[in-house]
Amino acid sequence: MSDALAPDGHFEVPATESHGAYAWNQTVDEVNVYVRCEVGTVAKKVRCVIRPSHVRLVAASVAREGEEVTLLDSDTVESLKPDESFWTLDSAAGSVHLTLQKAQEGKSWPGVFRGHGGDLDGTARESEQKRLLLERFQLEHPGFDFSGAEINGAVPDASTFMGGFNRPQ
């Protein structure tokens, strides 16, 4: 994939009483979520349960021994593949990276979790749909460079346009 078609940043979602702060972005086949946790958190003290439409992420508190902190416990806006999803921890940076595999490849997610208020506005959503459609074209036709391509008018859904995603074998 051309680097010009890769996500160029993250969408930030501030912490609330029901969840911790996180940032997210997406590609054609996955959603990446970067959740803040305490610096010094160790992997063996992190529990992450990923289901087809729900994610729960809990970590032991570094500052308050014996306490657990629920970082996420929410339904996703779209379905995912739990067996192909995973998480990694950057203890020094205080961040857990969730890689959630989309159940429907090419589908543009407007946000990650229901009710978190981090959904994309109309302009950002259309921009993401365009980027994902061009990323799909790049994956389907690796000999071509779609990074400078323009789409005029309404942007079609990359997951269903022209019969859906068709990766070369």
- Residuewise pLDDT in 10s, the chain (169 residues): 445 555 667 898 888 888 888 999 999 999 999 999 999 999 999 999 999 999 999 999 888 888 999 999 999 999 999 999 999 999 999 999 999 999 999 999 999 999 887 678 888 888 888 888 888 888 888 888 888 888 888 888 888 888 887 777 6
- The pLDDT of residue 126 is 87
Secondary structure string (H, E, C) spanning the chain: CCHHHCCCCCEEECCCCCCCCEEEEECCCEEEEEEECCCCCCHHHEEEEEECCEEEEEEECCCCCCCEEEEEEEEECCCEEEEEEEEEEECCCCEEEEEEEECCCCCCCCCCECCCCCCCCHHHHHHHHHHHHHHHHHHHCCCCCCCCCCCCCCCCCCCCHHHCCCCCC
What pLDDT was estimated at residue 1?
47
Predicted TM-score (pTM) above 0.75: yes
Quote the pLDDT of residue 7.
Answer: 67
